[in-house]
Amino acid sequence: MGSKERIQRQKEDTRKGILDAALQIVRQEGWNALSMRKIADAIEYTAPIIYEYFPNKDGLLIELTRQGYTMLGKKIKKAQDSETEPAKQLEAMWMAYWEFAFNSKEMYQLMYGVDMVCCELKKSLPEAEYTTKLFSDAIEKLITKEPRPEDIICLKYYTFWSVIHGLISINLTQKGTNEEINQQILRGAIQAIIRTIND
Amino acid sequence: MGSKERIQRQKEDTRKGILDAALQIVRQEGWNALSMRKIADAIEYTAPIIYEYFPNKDGLLIELTRQGYTMLGKKIKKAQDSETEPAKQLEAMWMAYWEFAFNSKEMYQLMYGVDMVCCELKKSLPEAEYTTKLFSDAIEKLITKEPRPEDIICLKYYTFWSVIHGLISINLTQKGTNEEINQQILRGAIQAIIRTIND
DNA sequence: TACATTTGCTTAACGGTGTTAGATTATTTT
DNA sequence: AAAATAATCTAACACCGTTAAGCAAATGTA
């Protein structure tokens, strides 16, 4: 009897259902409104069931974080593939990062701890490193000096990240920011950093 | 009988005691550990007493936020006064901002929503605008073109803020960041923005 | 088929949270 | 001393994350 597989599939469905329900609640009512009981309600179970799929709430959030990094990684890869010239590639990639932050605002908050209490010990998720690697490689391509020094890549990467993450954070917490200024800062900073990458 | 004043003074003392206790708890155990009952314990009262001084927990946090902005404003003013040359002034001010974030990590988290759930509707605190004005004025002094365009001041201010706040946020959430790289990015960015302020 | 075992799920509970209402005690006013 | 007011506490409500116990249906075994 192949009911083992069917049950396995059902289990994976409810696991996915839990994550989806959580995300939907957060999107509709914000992170403060997310509770185990509310998730259980949404999937038409009672709260303890969730503990059969995740060790605890933090575990659930870590799984969501992982999904977020995977999504982000795909978006950035896609942006890279949309251009051929290295400088244009890098710009497109950071613009994709920017867009992800606003299209998936709640995910970004979870992943980068903007305006939320987030789970402990989510450092060094392998899914997060993929994005870092994409950016590092793109920066490396723009360095002319040989051998390309690792510390310059790192420095430039963190510089990019700081500006863009800072601008995103400010926009996500403070409201009433100007979209035109955002674009000016974003594009201006990206081009400025690219321009000075070989100094 | 002047006991009215004495009672008034006592009330202000316990009010201050509540805020101090809250801050101490947060510094020792983090934002997650802060509860009304724990504050009450610290000041040797019971929880409902706090509601005679603050409308609710959010109100208490808003008051702490206000204190934070006042402290930050003072630090930045002091940094400004420590230099005479405008460019040096501006650099010193942002360095003071940077130092405040790490010396008063918990305050900074509260004020700018880094890695915490913060109170609603804390936008547009007058105490926060003082800092903004200090920076804006300092930037204005560096613009040579007349009349100095308001939108350039704004653009430069947000550019500064984005890099520095971004770098701080990354450091406060992700651990294991390199202090040397921080300083390079920080000083590099400040000087780069100052240098291009008249382009 | 009858019994035993496992599985899926729920109810009930524990200790915690912010917050409010009511009772109680202490202080001041008359 | 009695009445009125202020200061403070106890108890409760509804919620939270989490765990243990129990029930009922499905499954395995004789």
Range B83-102 average pLDDT: 98
* Helices within A43-149 (DSSP H only): 57-81, 86-103, 105-112, 126-142
Asked if A72 contacts A165 with a C-beta cutoff of 8 angstroms, the reply is no
pLDDT at A3: 66
pLDDT band at B165 (very low <50, low <70, confident <90, very high): very high
For the four alpha carbons of B94, B95, B96 and B100, in that order, the dihedral sign comes to positive
Q: Which of A117, A158, A184 sits opposite B116 (nearest CB)?
A: A117
Which nucleotide shows the minimum CA-to-C1' distance to residue A48? D18
pLDDT single digits (tens) A105-147: 999 999 998 877 666 555 578 999 999 999 999 999 999 987 8
Tokens of A117: 């209490």
Spatial CA neighbour of B190 closest among A176, A7, A163, A91? A163
Quote the DSSP letter at residue A50: G
Quote the DSSP letter at residue A26: H
* Nearby residues of B9 by Cβ (< 8 Å), 6 or more positions away: none
Asked if A125 contacts A65 with a C-beta cutoff of 8 angstroms, the reply is yes
pLDDT at B145: 83
Low-confidence ranges of chain A (pLDDT < 50): 1
CB-CB neighbours of A68 under 10 Å: 23
* Contacts of A28-37 spanning 24+ positions with Cβ under 8 A: A30/A106, A31/A106, A31/A109, A31/A110, A31/A116, A31/A117, A31/B117, A32/B117
In angstroms, the CA B68 to CA B109 distance is: 10
Half-sphere exposure of A162 (CA within 13 A, CB side): 28
In angstroms, the CA B196 to CA A184 distance is: 14
Q: Which residues of B touch A135 (CB under 8 A)?
A: none
Scan for tokens 């930045």, then name that residue.
B76
pLDDT at A182: 97
pLDDT at A119: 63
pLDDT single digits (tens) B121-136: 556 789 999 999 999 9
* C chain positions with any atom within 7 Å of a protein CB: 8-12, 16-22, 28-29
CA A48, C1' D21: Å apart? 13
Q: Which residues of B touch A158 (CB under 8 A)?
A: 167, 170, 177, 181, 185
